[in-house]
């Protein structure tokens, strides 16, 4: 693991086990894990480092400390903030959103409570979402005189469709975990006390697979909503060919024929 990812953060707890599944916990429970500037910077830096050092972990679970996932931006910090300072802070938010979406390592959001505003956008920036039954989601920005600015207007329509996304964004009203699952935004609703265990169990299934294959498959699936079908297929073939030359490809076939679990090395 790089020194960046190993360092002690003020607002995050990072735990990467021997199985290389990481738990990233937003750690401002007294503020319902609302993102102050420091947390925005630390989330940006952690995920940007994984872009440079993708072998640091094979799968991540992002969650919140205490009873909330993330209440969005810290509005107490923003009180009285000048336009210039607001824009500078939002530039960090933009970098953070891009870093999460560009992360080559799969990221599962384990939403353990309220995910409002930027908190919901952060969950949407992950690869998929598991939610506690008590979780609530809302993009409240229009009620505050702004609009979603961490890719919410882009990621939500991709998850639930344009018409449903407009209803959620334009009303600013919260939805339940069950509604989010019915809309296609949440993959699984879990009992509150089982959420992290179930998210980690899925992360372990991902971690058991060939790391390069997982990263290439993630890239290819992302392109499905960004390119026309044949251009996306051309990208898929390039991603596929990147796997053909790996030792892991040979190990996967050998393990299958020898009727044993493969020992993938990520090379």
Query: What DSSP character marks residue 85?
Result: H
* Per-residue model confidence (pLDDT) at position 6: 59
Q: How confident is the model at residue 226 (pLDDT cuts 50, 70, 90)?
A: very high
**CATH number of the domain at 3-207, out of 3.30.10.20, 3.40.50.300, 3.90.226.10, 3.40.50.11900?**
3.90.226.10
Tell whether the model's pLDDT for residue 7 goes beyond 80.
no
Q: What is the pTM of this model?
A: 0.94
Q: Read off the pLDDT of residues 124-151 as tens digits, 9 standing for 90 and up.
A: 999 999 999 999 999 999 999 999 999 9
Tell whether the model's pLDDT for residue 5 goes beyond 60.
no
The per-residue pLDDT of the chain, averaged, comes to 95
Residue 65 CA neighbour count, 13 Å, CB half: 15
Q: Are strands 188-190 and 128-132 parallel, antiparallel or unpaired?
A: parallel
Q: Read off the pLDDT of residues 54-106 as tens digits, 9 standing for 90 and up.
A: 899 999 999 999 999 999 999 898 999 899 998 999 999 999 999 999 999 99
User: Average pLDDT for residues 22-37, to the nearest whole number?
Assistant: 97
Number of other residues whose CB lies within 10 A of the CB of residue 44:
19
Residues with catalytic function: 121, 141
Say which residues have a Cβ less than 8 Å from residue 134's Cβ, sequence separation at least 6. 67, 112, 113, 177, 192
Tell whether the model's pLDDT for residue 239 goes beyond 60.
yes
Domain boundaries, the chain: 3-207, 211-257
Which CATH class for the 211-257 domain?
A: mainly alpha
Tell whether the model's pLDDT for residue 183 goes beyond 60.
yes
Q: Are strands 107-111 and 136-138 parallel, antiparallel or unpaired?
A: unpaired
CA distance 208 to 228: 31
């Amino acid at each position: 693991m790089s020194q960046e990812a190993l360092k002690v953060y003020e607002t995050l707890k990072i735990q990467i086990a021997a199985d290389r599944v990481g738990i990233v916990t937003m750690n401002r429970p007294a503020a319902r894990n609302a993102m102050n500037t420091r947390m925005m910077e630390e989330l940006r830096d952690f995920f940007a480092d994984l872009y440079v050092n993708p072998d640091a972990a094979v799968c991540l679970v992002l969650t919140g400390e205490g009873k909330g996932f993330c209440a969005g931006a810290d509005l107490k910090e923003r009180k009285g903030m000048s336009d210039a300072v607001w824009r500078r802070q939002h530039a960090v938010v933009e970098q953070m959103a891009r870093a999460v979406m560009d992360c080559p390592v799969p990221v599962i959001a384990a939403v353990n409570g309220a995910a409002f505003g930027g908190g919901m956008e952060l969950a949407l920036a992950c690869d998929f979402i598991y939610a506690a039954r008590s979780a609530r989601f809302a993009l409240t920005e229009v009620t505050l005189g702004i609009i979603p600015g961490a890719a919410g207007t882009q990621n939500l329509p991709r998850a639930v469709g344009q018409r449903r996304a407009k209803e959620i964004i334009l009303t600013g009203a919260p939805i339940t975990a069950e509604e989010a699952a019915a809309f296609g935004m949440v993959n699984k609703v879990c009992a509150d006390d089982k959420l992290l265990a179930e998210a980690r169990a899925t992360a372990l299934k991902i971690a058991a697979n060939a790391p390069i294959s997982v990263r290439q498959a993630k890239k290819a699936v992302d392109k499905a909503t960004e390119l026309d079908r044949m251009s996306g297929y051309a990208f898929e073939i390039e991603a596929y060919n990147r796997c053909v030359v790996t030792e892991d490809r040979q190990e996967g076939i050998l393990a299958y024929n020898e009727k044993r679990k493969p020992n993938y090395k990520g090379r």
